[in-house]
């Protein structure tokens, strides 16, 4: 019988985390699946362990890729897959037992090309494991309805991490959607995520969270990138794909937003020793945009700031980024100083993923959280994770409170809003990067 879901697991030297990942897929309540383990040259026992599992579970197939590229491993898996839908589980993550049963039922009900869901990020193991919920969209109206980017261009940006859901196999093959086969094991999903988002006619977002994404693997290529030009190269690949498919004119402004946002994100998630070298590469890349005939209409303040500083030269760009680093460190110090304080009360300005992550940290550290504040009128008066959501002006009279700006896209605007309403800069902490917030929590969550 043809499998309903083909689960692609690309791996290279994945032990010891791979054992939990493979076990979680094999234990799915949906039994009619195939598990395609694509090995990229493991020497740590991964191959031997997979063979042992294959001997007792006929659903497991072990394939080999010699290219040293996650993109090539993934593409091999798509070519070998027989299932109606394709899922992806990375080698250091795990999934909850009901993931594919529930996602498949939803995908079939709505005849989805692409289905994505919320997920958990986690660190630690056993009794010390900490799981933090993140949402694929902060707009409740985006869930449980069909989305098509060609009819709703604003929703090109919806999608989240590409491994949280399912892809109809014939959609990928008919549209010839593949990953970039660049060397290494990071960022090849940038182009894949964008292309599936713009080419799918039927996308659905599920509000449940099934996928658990590990953040503390020290050997992860995202934590230790071996080539600083990787994100830039991935956007070169995506630009070529869009032009080849005749989609460049329609989606170039969305491309620009994704490109600048992710190249900026890459800088703030690098080790300090790598940042100066990346500044030179980033400046050279941003220089190439000058003749691109962009309107820049979709950019938020943080992206336009970056471009503006880059227009003044490489030295100015470097100074700007280093100043952002200083502001980040200062903001983290303010949060650290106020945890457990009975003298300071704290408002989280922004009720999205960053707000939820910092709420977990502050409550565990006995911080005195008063409420969320948010500019989303539809949220006012609601209770989220036990905290009431206020109008921004409701907390401004509390002259001793700390306001934590929790927004990846609108931090600049919220900071300006608070300052214009009389909040002293020393009472504002700016947290505008989710992954950096997670690393802060990992370091201090004791």
Distance CA 288, CA 297 (A): 18
DSSP code per residue over 85-112: EEEE--TT-EE-TTHHHHHHHHHHHTT-
In the prediction, which pLDDT does 331 show?
93
In the prediction, which pLDDT does 351 show?
84
Please give the model's pTM, rounded to 2 decimal places: 0.91
In the prediction, which pLDDT does 303 show?
94
Distance CA 360, CA 380 (A): 21
In the prediction, which pLDDT does 342 show?
58
In the prediction, which pLDDT does 340 show?
59
Contact 339, 365 (CB under 8 A): yes
Distance CA 171, CA 83 (A): 12
Q: What is the mean pLDDT of each run of 10 residues along the chain (446 residues)?
A: 95 93 98 97 95 97 91 96 97 96 98 96 87 87 91 78 95 96 82 94 95 85 70 94 96 94 92 93 94 89 94 96 94 80 76 88 75 87 87 79 89 91 91 90 78
Contact 429, 436 (CB under 8 A): no
In the prediction, which pLDDT does 207 show?
94
In the prediction, which pLDDT does 100 show?
98
In the prediction, which pLDDT does 339 show?
64
In the prediction, which pLDDT does 226 show?
65
In the prediction, which pLDDT does 254 show?
94
Distance CA 444, CA 336 (A): 8
In the prediction, which pLDDT does 29 show?
98
């Amino acid at each position: 019988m043809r499998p309903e879901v083909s689960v692609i697991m690309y791996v290279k030297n994945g032990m010891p985390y791979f054992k939990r990942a493979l076990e979680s897929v094999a234990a799915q309540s949906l039994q009619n699946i195939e598990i395609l383990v694509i090995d990229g040259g493991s020497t740590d026992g991964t191959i031997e362990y997979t063979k042992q599992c294959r001997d007792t579970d006929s659903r497991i197939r072990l394939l080999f890729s010699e290219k040293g590229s996650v993109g090539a491993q993934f593409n091999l898996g798509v070519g070998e897959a027989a299932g109606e839908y394709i899922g992806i589980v990375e080698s250091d993550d795990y999934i909850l037992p009901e993931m594919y049963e529930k996602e498949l039922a939803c995908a079939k009900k709505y005849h989805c090309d692409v289905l994505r869901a919320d997920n958990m990020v986690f660190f630690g193991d056993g009794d010390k494991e900490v799981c933090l919920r993140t949402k694929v969209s902060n707009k409740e109206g985006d869930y449980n309805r069909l989305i098509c980017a060609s009819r709703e261009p604003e929703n090109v940006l919806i999608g989240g991490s590409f491994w949280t859901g399912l892809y109809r196999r014939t959609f990928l093959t008919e549209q010839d959607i593949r990953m970039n086969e660049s060397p290494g094991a990071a960022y090849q999903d940038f182009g894949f995520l964008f292309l599936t988002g713009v080419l799918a006619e039927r996308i659905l977002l599920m509000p449940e969270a099934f996928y658990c994404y590990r953040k503390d693997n020290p050997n992860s290529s995202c934590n230790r990138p071996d080539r600083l030009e990787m994100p830039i190269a991935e956007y070169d690949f995506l630009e070529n794909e869009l032009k080849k498919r005749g989609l460049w004119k329609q989606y170039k402004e969305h491309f620009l937003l994704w490109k600048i946002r992710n190249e900026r994100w890459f800088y703030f998630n690098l080790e300090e020793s790598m940042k100066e070298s990346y500044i030179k590469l980033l400046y050279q890349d941003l220089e190439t945009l000058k003749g691109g005939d962009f309107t820049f209409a979709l950019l938020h303040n943080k992206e336009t700031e970056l471009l503006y500083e880059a227009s003044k030269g490489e030295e100015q760009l470097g100074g700007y980024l280093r100043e952002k680093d200083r502001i980040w460190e200062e903001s983290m110090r303010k949060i650290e100083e106020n945890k457990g304080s009975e003298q300071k009360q704290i408002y989280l300005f922004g009720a999205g993923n960053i707000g939820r992550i910092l709420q977990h940290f502050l409550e565990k550290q006995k911080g005195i959280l008063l409420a969320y504040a948010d500019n989303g009128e539809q949220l006012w008066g609601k209770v989220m994770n036990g905290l009431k959501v206020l109008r921004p002006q409701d907390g401004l009279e509390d002259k001793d409170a700390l306001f934590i700006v929790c927004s990846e896209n609108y931090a600049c605007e919220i900071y300006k809003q608070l300052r214009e309403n009389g909040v002293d800069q020393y009472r504002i902490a700016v947290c505008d990067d989710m992954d950096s917030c997670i690393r802060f929590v990992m370091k201090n969550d004791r």
